[in-house]
Chain A
Amino acid sequence: MKNILFILFCAFLFSSCEKEIDLQLDDKSGTIVIEGNITDQQGPYYVRITRSVAFTEDNQYPAITDAVVTISDNTGQSETLQYEGDGRYKTSSLVSSPGNTYTLNVLIDGVNYSAQSTMPSPVTLDGLIQDSITIAGETTYNILPVYTDPSFLGNRYLFILTIDGKTDKTLQVFSDNINNGMVNQRTIMPSLDDDDEIVPGDIINVEMQCIDQNIYTYYSALIQISGGGGPGGSVTPANPPSNINNGALGYFSAHTTASKSMVIQ
């Protein structure tokens, strides 16, 4: 929303100028990063463990290869994951089910990182509808995911947009704090980068995840810090509040997933 305001305003009044600059940034990297997902689809499920690197380095993230990774749930299942490569650990027997609470434990160099997540009930994604707005002669396409929010409160959604097989940078989260129990009215806007723009003929895929409240808070914060500048700068950035303890970055999410595709007309 703010981005649109800002772009509008700039387009009208100013020609702002942008350039690359060189900054002396502190390096406090080397932190454990855990990315764990369990879905309502059949396994295997993966947990990826890497370390963060300095800003000035290349985007090569050292994999943690010797962690002891276990996932258990409230029905008594428990499994130690097998290392597969590229920091990825894989389940082999774990069976997931909505409503269950999963516990992740990761032991690295004597430090235990743990997290919990509860898989919500699935919500059906009925379809996608395209919508467009025209700003300054340029048409931007938005996608309306069609689904009916369940009548009970507390549903949280994460949307991931893929344009011609390329995942869009902009993630979006919705809550039922508005329009509880109603058919969804909110569209998903792709990121404003020129090269990620949707044009007619593009194949759009939308993945809808039903996530728990902690993961919703995590993604809300992640979206806020990865958004553009906005007038005068956006929120003061900080690491998103992770559901993993002991200072690890990342998240552990048990969620349901549903996808739909369409071709932009």
Chain B
Amino acid sequence: MKTFLIRHFALAAMLFSSAVAMAQKYTISGTIKDKNNGEFMIGAAVQIAENPAAGAITNEYGFYSLSMPEGEYTILCSYAGFDQQQKSVTLNKNIRLDWLLDTPRTNALDEVVVGSVKKDKNLSQAQMGIETLNIKKIEKLPVLFGEKDVMKTIQLLPGIKSNGEGSSGFSVRGGAADQNLILLDEAPVYNASHLLGFFSTFNSDALKDASIIKGNSPSQYGGRLSSVMDVKMKDGNNQDYNVTGGIGLISSRLSVEGPIQKDKSSFIISGRRTYADLFLRGSEDFKDSKLYFYDLNIKANYQINSNNRIYLSGYFGRDVLGLGSTFGTDWGNTTATLRWNSILSRQLFSNTSLIYSNYDYKLNFESAGSNLGLNSQIKDYNLKQDFSWFASSKHSLRFGLQSIYHGITPSKSSGTSVDSYPKKTRYSWENALYINDDFKASEQLTLNYGLRLSAFTIIGGDTYNIYQNGELTGSRDLEKGTLGKTYLNLEPRLTANYRIDELSSVKAGYSRNTQNLHLLSNSSSGSPSDQWIGSSYTVKPEIADQFSVGYSRNFSDNNYEINTEVYYKDMQNQIDYKNGAEITFDAGKDVESELLFGKGRAYGVELIAKKKSGKLTGWVSYTLSKTERKIDGINNDKWYNTRLDKTHDLSVVATYTLNPKWSLSGLFVYSTGNAVTFPTGKYELNGQTVFQYSSRNADRMPDYHRMDLSATYEPNKKKRFHGSWTFGLYNVYGRENAYTITFEDNPDKPGTTRAMQTSLFRWVPNVTYNFKF
């Protein structure tokens, strides 16, 4: 291990050193903002007219930096949907150039753009497996109950599979739900779903940008195997006050944003609440019931001077379900991020963040005078220091460190019930050092490569039992304040892009990701009571190695784009419950004794074709894939399909602008049914019919397909107050997609059995009214 580490670091140091020694050059740096609201723009492009190959893209804080030899240049600044600007400069010293981009006067904003900026960005950037969603541009797509949801839109992209009908949960390239790192303003969100997964915790009104990286993330990201979903909240308009809101069938939303001090500071407060329960309270039967969720996003920022800015953002969300005093459950996330952006020099940008994240779950059940309860919690304190160093026109580096202190409280009894094996909160410390270089090696070749060293340390204060195949083989009593085992992992990452010609490029990548927090779930769809555990003496870090190659080609002035990627992923130390595991109320003495470990593999081909401009925009995405697991103690120790191993997965998404007031959107999805286990026989036990099973997940649910349509009407766009109506219909042709299939004795024909299919959501209409002033 040690020599492996040294060798890799030496190699990295050698590569990076070439970035430093360069000829005399000067730097152009600055920020790019949206003139209308003062928001920093992510991924806006700065290019040199005289040398189209040179250019820079703003980072997630709107900062760019570009080095060029001395000379006269015309500099262009652009962002999709905004007017391009240009400035002439004489470069004989380092200069600062800030931009304010404005939207065009005409109503030309009716295109759906997936990805942004330079129209041929897909051909020039080394990054692979990345998809960016501009929140504004996805809002016309039809969605269940009219609730815009980035997590559902993301499922329409290749390699990303829905967890089930109407679910906001997703799986990336064969990964489990907990293998997606979901960040909201850098804070990890441990349960990104509301109401059993039908809604996500992300209120689109408060969001600025969302991107997802499918396993090939640069080294500043880590801690999960499959993907990084990076969601950023709006900063708040520092020019003018705005109120936006929406009234829908399920929930209403309201956001207020505006300057605290014009040009210097701003805030945004955005809330959402469902109100099904308010109607139900009117009915006698449900008057004691509670069923709602809410989200509250708050953010403020203050510009100290042209080089320093601080941000404070917070999210609070909660689900509450209850029936009088008999039954109640609630769960939710709280996150807070304090961030300091600083332009240290023309080439060095620093971002320091302090992050707090909390997820907790409670369940209460009152019966016959007793009060049985369960609760669990995960609480993080997180420090991140990140530097972007625009070393030269060829190299831009990211390096930094991340340190997280986790406190994880496992499912514990509360109320009048008492755990027979008292459970303690377990603490751990997760650290990472990383360095990453985006290297333009030549006109054709760009490389993005880096290393991440991750360390996970168990902090004392509990007794750790050691199990092998569920049998206790030893135990470690760790005193409070002492450090236990540390798992060290070195994660190399590399992606390369070779531009074949003006219109096409090939890509290749390899990355290793590790994961030290694991979500234990025994249901196939996930439930709020699923619990997180950290790596321990029994549970080893999960490791994934992903290899991928891709090809991109653009057509007719970059208006059409085709991307394809092939991947192979190998996963180690995967976790599952053993058959008949003691969970929830009988949580056993130690959940770790109920676990089994094994490996996984996933491979596939992903294809996406997009039309990016014109009256008709949209995309077609298709994935052909296979995902399997092999866990000792399950399926006779043989490989089996994972539940979301959907061989074929197709999405067609289109938006058509009829005229400036009306636009129509539609989508069609088709996928192979989930891999499931159906009976292969039946027998009698205690006088009841019991079904017999053989291979795990060897059967298939019926194919899933559905079409959704929506229409958006936006009158009076030019007035200060503007409202819009969205009408939608989910599952237009009323396909009865199987949600579950169960087997039972046939009551109509005693002495026989039958299969019953349950479907949800046929022809679900929605109307939403959105306004802004």
Q: Which residues of A contact B (CB under 8 A)?
A: 1-2, 4-6, 8-9, 12-14, 16-23, 25-31, 33, 35, 50-55, 58-61, 129, 131, 133-137, 142, 144, 153, 160, 167, 169, 171, 173-180, 182, 185-187, 195, 217-218, 220-222, 224-226, 228-241, 249-251
- B82 contacts A by Cβ under 8 Å: no
Residues of B within 8 A of A180 (CB): 418, 420
Whole-angstrom CA separation of A87 from B582 in the bound complex: 33
CB distance from B353 to the nearest CB of A (A): 35
Whole-angstrom CA separation of A224 from B689 in the bound complex: 14
Closest B residue to A236 by beta carbon equals B677
Contact A29 B680 (CB under 8 A): yes
Contact A59 B689 (CB under 8 A): yes
Contacts A53-B682, A239-B692: A233 and B523 contacting too (C-beta < 8 A)? yes
A9, A19, A218, A225: the one contacting B195 at CB < 8 Å is A9
Whole-angstrom CA separation of A142 from B740 in the bound complex: 27
The 17 listed contacts between A and B (C-beta, < 8 Å) are: A5-B196, A17-B736, A17-B759, A27-B680, A29-B683, A50-B684, A55-B753, A133-B323, A133-B367, A174-B586, A178-B418, A185-B367, A186-B372, A220-B581, A238-B635, A238-B677, A249-B683
Residues of A within 8 A of B163 (CB): 232
Contact B751 A177 (CB under 8 A): no
Contact A241 B681 (CB under 8 A): no
Contact B740 A229 (CB under 8 A): yes
Residues of A within 8 A of B72 (CB): none
Whole-angstrom CA separation of A18 from B738 in the bound complex: 9
Whole-angstrom CA separation of A22 from B678 in the bound complex: 12
Contacts A133-B323, A137-B284, A185-B368: A238 and B685 contacting too (C-beta < 8 A)? no
- B476 contacts A by Cβ under 8 Å: no
A22, A55, A144, A224: the one contacting B368 at CB < 8 Å is A144
Contacts A59-B745, A178-B413: A241 and B755 contacting too (C-beta < 8 A)? no
Residues of A within 8 A of B586 (CB): 173-175, 177-178, 220
A14, A185, A186, A236: the one contacting B760 at CB < 8 Å is A14
Contacts A5-B321, A16-B758, A178-B413: A133 and B327 contacting too (C-beta < 8 A)? yes
Contacts A224-B580, A231-B197, A236-B697: A59 and B752 contacting too (C-beta < 8 A)? yes
CB distance from A129 to the nearest CB of B (A): 6
- B754 contacts A by Cβ under 8 Å: yes
- B587 contacts A by Cβ under 8 Å: yes
Whole-angstrom CA separation of A35 from B688 in the bound complex: 12
CB distance from B349 to the nearest CB of A (A): 44
B323, B524, B681: the one contacting A28 at CB < 8 Å is B681
- B696 contacts A by Cβ under 8 Å: yes
Contact B678 A25 (CB under 8 A): yes
A9, A228, A238: the one contacting B693 at CB < 8 Å is A238
Interface size counted on chain B using CB atoms at 8 A = 96
CB distance from A4 to the nearest CB of B (A): 7
Contacts A21-B756, A177-B588: A16 and B739 contacting too (C-beta < 8 A)? yes
Contact B582 A240 (CB under 8 A): no
Closest A residue to B276 by beta carbon equals A12
Contacts A54-B682, A233-B164 known; list 9 others, CB within 8 Å.
A20-B757, A29-B692, A178-B417, A178-B586, A179-B420, A229-B758, A231-B525, A232-B740, A249-B685
Contact B679 A55 (CB under 8 A): yes
Whole-angstrom CA separation of A46 from B753 in the bound complex: 27
Contact B582 A175 (CB under 8 A): yes
Contact B326 A13 (CB under 8 A): no
Whole-angstrom CA separation of A224 from B752 in the bound complex: 22
Residues of B within 8 A of A61 (CB): 683-684
Contact B413 A232 (CB under 8 A): no
Contact A21 B741 (CB under 8 A): yes
Whole-angstrom CA separation of A2 from B753 in the bound complex: 25
A31, A142, A179, A221: the one contacting B681 at CB < 8 Å is A31
B365, B579, B742: the one contacting A221 at CB < 8 Å is B579
Interface centre among B416, B589, B676, B760 (most CB of A within 10 A): B760
Contacts A9-B196, A55-B682, A185-B368: A133 and B326 contacting too (C-beta < 8 A)? yes
- B501 contacts A by Cβ under 8 Å: no
Closest A residue to B674 by beta carbon equals A233
Residues of A within 8 A of B247 (CB): none
Contact B524 A8 (CB under 8 A): no
Residues of B within 8 A of A18 (CB): 756-759
Residues of A within 8 A of B88 (CB): none
Closest A residue to B322 by beta carbon equals A8
Whole-angstrom CA separation of A236 from B596 in the bound complex: 15
Whole-angstrom CA separation of A53 from B753 in the bound complex: 12
Residues of B within 8 A of A14 (CB): 760-761
Whole-angstrom CA separation of A229 from B674 in the bound complex: 15
Contact B681 A236 (CB under 8 A): no
Residues of A within 8 A of B747 (CB): 195
Residues of A within 8 A of B683 (CB): 29, 31, 33, 50-53, 61, 249-250
